[in-house]
Amino acid sequence: QLQLQESGPGLVKPPETLSLTCTVSGGSVSDTDYYWGWIRQPPGKGLEWIGHLHYSGRTYYNPSLESRVIMSVGTSNNQFSLRLSPVTATDTAVYYCVRYSGGWDYWGQGSLVTVSS
């Protein structure tokens, strides 16, 4: 059974960098059949697609965030990561890592990141 687990600081000061890592178990980030992505949800609001990437290095970002986002995949620990910089209070959200296999099938439990000085 595939499992995804987000990890990273729960508090980030503006205008610093938000960094999150997603650890994949029960599967491999190097499996070329899949894409890996990030989705976020501000408190009390809807879902927002941030972007996704393929093991080959191809990345696809939400145009509204593209100038601030970097996603990468690391095979040594079977992880992929998200960096968002610089952050503001509007980046406060629960961040989910997800897998795409024809659909966004597997989701992590989410990591709340609060942006505050």
Partner 1 sequence: QTVVTQEPSLTVSPGGTVTLTCTSSTGAVTSGYYPNWVQQKPGQAPMSLIYSTSYKHSWTPARFSGSLLGGKAALTLSGVQPEDEADYYCLLYYGGAQVWVFGGGTKLTVL
Binding positions for partner 1, rule: CB under 8 A: 39, 46-49, 52, 60, 62-63, 96, 102-110
Q: What is the nearest approach in angstroms of partner 1 to the Cβ of residue 107?
A: 5
When the beta carbons of 55 and 104 are compared against partner 1, the nearer one is 104
Considering the complex, state which of residue 77 and residue 101 has its C-beta at the smaller distance from partner 1: 101
* Closest distance to partner 1 from the beta carbon of 65 (Å): 11
Pair 96, 76: CB distance under 8 Å: no
Closest Cα to residue 35, out of 66, 4, 68?
4
**Least Å from the CB of residue 59 to partner 1:** 10
> Is 45 or 117 the residue whose CB approaches partner 1 more closely?
45
What is the closest distance, in whole angstroms, from the C-beta atom of residue 16 to partner 1 in the complex? 26
Count of CA atoms in the C-beta half-sphere (13 A) of 45: 13
Q: Which is nearer to partner 1, 16 or 70 (CB)?
A: 70
DSSP letter for each residue of 32-93? TT-EEEEEEE-TTS--EEEEEEETTS-EEE-TTTGGGEEEEEETTTTEEEEEE-S--GGG-E
